[in-house]
Amino acid sequence: MHEDTAPLLSIEGLHVSIGGREVLRGIDLTIHAGETHVLLGPNGSGKTTLLNTLVGLPGYDVTAGTVAFRGNNLLALGVDERARAGIGVAFQRPPAVRGVKLRQVMEVAAGGAIDPERVAAIAEEVDVVPMLERDVNLGFSGGEAKRSEMAQLLAQEPELALFDEPESGVDLDNIAVVGSAISHLLKGERASERPRAGLIITHTGHILQFVNADIGHVLFDGQLACEGNPLDLIDDIVSHGYEKCVECALCRR
């Protein structure tokens, strides 16, 4: 359905090593504006590695392949340039930053200037009002850290939002808060919002109760082994485990 529109993100033949060990062994992935993709895969398969590589964190050595974002070479950009270009991330384990308040991070995420009323509205939406003047993530509970990540992404409004296990360690009430925030960000109810795209890593799929995802992928052994309806893939994995991905030659690309 997208043959004539340029992709937002285009990953081709991506190989990534960490400390000399190859973790990603040839990833091909295309994401168009407006699409929400889901990334599944067993522990240690390289899901976080893929996201951190896209964000541009140090230590992830791209040894082969290309990544284009809106047609431009993403790999040539630094971390801050990628954020300004429109890539945002909610980390699996967000780092604590002593001396930097959540409010300040939201201001930076928004590009330096943000209406205090908008900060207040976002903080209300994801229930981080009491944390705005605290050092970001320092002593935040697991659920608070995840909601803080959502606040930062809502302030940034990236064109491509990457979510690394947004529901892990989050209680059922807060999964609804986080899920609604993701849905809000990706589906863009506000008139000013541009069409966005998302890539969501999940083990359980709980978050998909709140987010309409379009395409699911299974990362197995450093490669994308399967592609399909995200809920069907999760059902399959629950029934058969990830080992099926080894046997499933049909959907192997």
Q: Which residues bind ligand ATP (CB under 6 A)?
A: 18-19, 23, 41, 43-49, 59, 92
Choose the one of Mg ion, ligand ATP, none that binds residue 137, judging by a C-beta under 5 to 8 angstroms depending on kind: none
Cβ distance to ligand ATP smaller for residue 13 or 59: 59
Cβ distance to ligand ATP smaller for residue 102 or 219: 219
Q: Smallest distance from the beta carbon of 114 to ligand ATP, in angstroms?
A: 31
Q: Smallest distance from the beta carbon of 167 to ligand ATP, in angstroms?
A: 13
Cβ distance to ligand ATP smaller for residue 48 or 223: 48
Cβ distance to ligand ATP smaller for residue 31 or 50: 50
Choose the one of ligand ATP, Mg ion, none that binds residue 53, judging by a C-beta under 5 to 8 angstroms depending on kind: none
Choose the one of Mg ion, ligand ATP, none that binds residue 228, judging by a C-beta under 5 to 8 angstroms depending on kind: none
Cα dihedral sign for 154, 156, 157, 161?
A: negative
Q: Are 163 and 136 in contact (CB under 8 A)?
A: no
Q: Which residues bind Mg ion (CB under 5 A)?
A: 47-48, 92
Q: Smallest distance from the beta carbon of 43 to Mg ion, in angstroms?
A: 8
Q: What is the three-state SS of the chain? A: CCCCCCCCEEEEEEEEEECCEEEEEEEEEEECCCCEEEEECCCCCCHHHHHHHHHCCCCCEEEEEEEEECCEEHHHCCHHHHHHHCEEEECCCCCCCCCCEHHHHHHHHCCCCCCHHHHHHHHHHCCCHHHCCCECCCCCCHHHHHHHHHHHHHHHCCCEEEEECCCCCCCHHHHHHHHHHHHHHHHCCCCCCCCCEEEEECCCCHHHHCCCCCEEEEEECCEEEEEECHHHHHHHHHHHCCCHHHHCCCCCC
Cβ distance to Mg ion smaller for residue 52 or 148: 52
Choose the one of Mg ion, ligand ATP, none that binds residue 43, judging by a C-beta under 5 to 8 angstroms depending on kind: ligand ATP
Q: Smallest distance from the beta carbon of 46 to ligand ATP, in angstroms?
A: 4
Choose the one of Mg ion, ligand ATP, none that binds residue 10, judging by a C-beta under 5 to 8 angstroms depending on kind: none
Cβ distance to ligand ATP smaller for residue 5 or 204: 204
Q: Smallest distance from the beta carbon of 252 to Mg ion, in angstroms?
A: 23
